[in-house]
Amino acid sequence: MDPTFSLAVVVDDDPDISLAARLALRDMFERIEALPSPAELLPFLKRESPDAILLDLNFERAATDGREGLDTLARIMKVDPDAAVVIITAHGAVSVAVEAIKRGASDFVAKPWSNERLAATVRSAAALRQSKIDARVERSRASELAHGAETPLLGEAAAMQRVRSLIERAAPTDANVVILGENGTGKEIVAREVHRLSRRSAEPMVSIDLGATSETLFESELFGHVKGAFTGAAGERIGRLKAADHSSLFLDEVGNLPLHLQPKLLTALEQRQVVPVGSNRPVPIDVRVIAATNMSQDQLADETRFRQDLLFRLNTIEIHLPPLRERREDIPLLLDHYLGIYARKYDRPLRQIPPATLETLMHHDWPGNVRALRHAAERAVIMADGDHYGLEDFPLPGRAGAPAVAIPQTTLNLDQLEKQMIERALRMHHFNISLAASELGLSRGALYRRMEKHGL
């Protein structure tokens, strides 16, 4: 039979026990290492990542309380939260083994064991570890597809360069970060970037969108609940704060956190522990919080909406993302990026944006910021059928601030509008009639006639 797993390690000071375990498990693992004391295990875990660890609880002569083993277990779980640790106990020491399971061990076997039972216990612990790792890889791949690799934080405007430099300086520290910005300005990309460049990046970032969470579920989503904590709480649930242990927690739309839960979040962060709903046992957490909100600084400073003590805990570092209308110079590169992405996605040709169209797009106020620009680019790729993009391919609701179609407030005077368009096209092309005519979709003759009509 081929071994199912690659490596097991047995930590026991009794060589007979180690040998017995090796014999019982030799078909299941390619390699089985024996270590006589827990002191050797941690350096070993720096080099190797065993599929299963068999751990004796008592090493000191005559020790029976298992303290040394439990300490070792805590250290193992810190190095590798997915570790599959099977506890070896003396007959009758079940209560210590149960304590070990509460602290993260997968299971236990009592000495003397039956080989079948030992093999079955170790096999299911190693399989569970494998599936946890698979799920983690799957999750991070899915989130990378949705947000990651294809979405870098673009922007060369001075404000964006400042944002990038702030991210680089803040990320490696463990300081909490608040990201402020209107909807669609890239707050989530910034949060991912902070996490990616942090010391916690080996673990996937955990997110919770407090704008999309129903009020009744806030508490259990954040802090978790025990079985039967409230009607409908059938099973136990790990809250996001605990799920983000050793990682970062992205609290999106943190301004929506109800006032009555704000002290509970503050206490959890200050004391580094959460108390699940329906429980009175605090669970330790080690979490870095990255929060985002579209509230303005003034709104955040309003004590009736947001507790200032919580704000001070969250905003050690504040990153402000400017709205797109304050960094219009980035519009061409963002359009280029997203038009390219969607042209590839929909298998369409790469088209140019004529200068006049680009100028209109740059003057648009983009109230939905980069998200709206991205949608507009996607639609344009689907709609365009000429050899370049036209303004009609971009849906720009309101077109506020777009001078190309700056409609006089009181009259919708077509003549006046025509005159303005012609003037703009002429100026843009330095009075080159052929270029201006083609920009406007007119023949040279038709343009001359209209110039005459408007006295240009």
Ligand X SMILES: Nc1ncnc2c1ncn2[C@@H]1O[C@H](COP(=O)(O)OP(=O)(O)OP(=O)(O)O)[C@@H](O)[C@H]1O
Among 132, 325, 371, 419, binds ligand X (CB under 6 A): 371
Given the DSSP bridges, would you call strands 224-225 and 273-274 parallel, antiparallel or unpaired? unpaired
- Using the contact rule CB under 6 A, the part of the chain among 11-19, 235-243, 367-375, 376-384 near ligand X is 367-375
Cis peptide before 204 (omega within 30 of 0): no
- Residue 294 Cβ vs ligand X, minimum distance, rounded to whole Å: 5
- Residue 148 Cβ vs ligand X, minimum distance, rounded to whole Å: 10
- Residue 301 Cβ vs ligand X, minimum distance, rounded to whole Å: 19
Q: Interface with ligand X includes 153 (CB under 6 A)?
A: yes
Q: Interface with ligand X includes 213 (CB under 6 A)?
A: no
Residue from 41, 40, 23 nearest 32 by CA: 23
- Using the contact rule CB under 6 A, the part of the chain among 49-57, 178-186, 276-284, 376-384 near ligand X is 178-186
Q: Which is nearer to ligand X, 81 or 367 (CB)?
A: 367
- Residue 35 Cβ vs ligand X, minimum distance, rounded to whole Å: 47
Among 4, 124, 130, 183, binds ligand X (CB under 6 A): 183
Strand partners, 207: 250
- Residue 229 Cβ vs ligand X, minimum distance, rounded to whole Å: 30
- Residue 331 Cβ vs ligand X, minimum distance, rounded to whole Å: 11
- Residue 181 Cβ vs ligand X, minimum distance, rounded to whole Å: 5
Q: Which is nearer to ligand X, 125 or 189 (CB)?
A: 189
Q: Interface with ligand X includes 201 (CB under 6 A)?
A: no
Write out the DSSP string of 340-378.
Answer: HHHHHHTT----BPPHHHHHHHHHS--TTHHHHHHHHHH
- Using the contact rule CB under 6 A, the part of the chain among 27-35, 78-86, 369-377, 385-393 near ligand X is 369-377
Q: Which residue has the tokens 């944006």?
A: 353
Q: Interface with ligand X includes 166 (CB under 6 A)?
A: no
Q: Interface with ligand X includes 210 (CB under 6 A)?
A: no
| Residue 7 φ/ψ, nearest 5 degrees | -140, 130
Q: Interface with ligand X includes 294 (CB under 6 A)?
A: yes
Distance CA(106)–CA(124), nearest Å, equals: 9
Strand segments (E) across 111-188: 177-180
Q: How many degrees, rounded to 5, is the angle at CA 98 between CA 95 and CA 101?
A: 155
- Residue 146 Cβ vs ligand X, minimum distance, rounded to whole Å: 9
Stated as kind and residue range, the H or E segment containing 320 is strand 317-320
Q: Interface with ligand X includes 188 (CB under 6 A)?
A: yes
Q: Which is nearer to ligand X, 160 or 241 (CB)?
A: 160
How does DSSP classify residue 322? P
Longest dimension (CA), the chain: 108
Among 123, 129, 187, 242, binds ligand X (CB under 6 A): 187
Taken as a whole, the chain contains a residue count of 456
- Residue 370 Cβ vs ligand X, minimum distance, rounded to whole Å: 3
The pair of three-digit structure tokens given for residue 191, joined into one six-digit string: 């949060």
Q: Interface with ligand X includes 181 (CB under 6 A)?
A: yes
Among 177, 189, 265, 310, binds ligand X (CB under 6 A): 189
How does DSSP classify residue 302? -
- Residue 312 Cβ vs ligand X, minimum distance, rounded to whole Å: 22
Q: Summarize the chain as % helix, strand, coil (round to 5).
A: 50, 15, 40
Q: Interface with ligand X includes 325 (CB under 6 A)?
A: no
Please list every residue from 385 through 424 that binds ligand X, using CB under 6 A: none
Residue from 5, 255, 23, 231 nearest 130 by CA: 5
Q: Interface with ligand X includes 121 (CB under 6 A)?
A: no
The pair of three-digit structure tokens given for residue 183, joined into one six-digit string: 């909807």
Q: Interface with ligand X includes 185 (CB under 6 A)?
A: yes
Calculate the alpha carbon distances from 26 to 44, 115, 118 in Å: 20, 11, 12
Cα Rg of the chain, angstroms? 31
Among 45, 77, 90, 154, binds ligand X (CB under 6 A): 154
Interacting residues with ligand X (CB under 6 A): 151, 153-155, 181, 183-189, 252, 292, 294, 370-371, 374
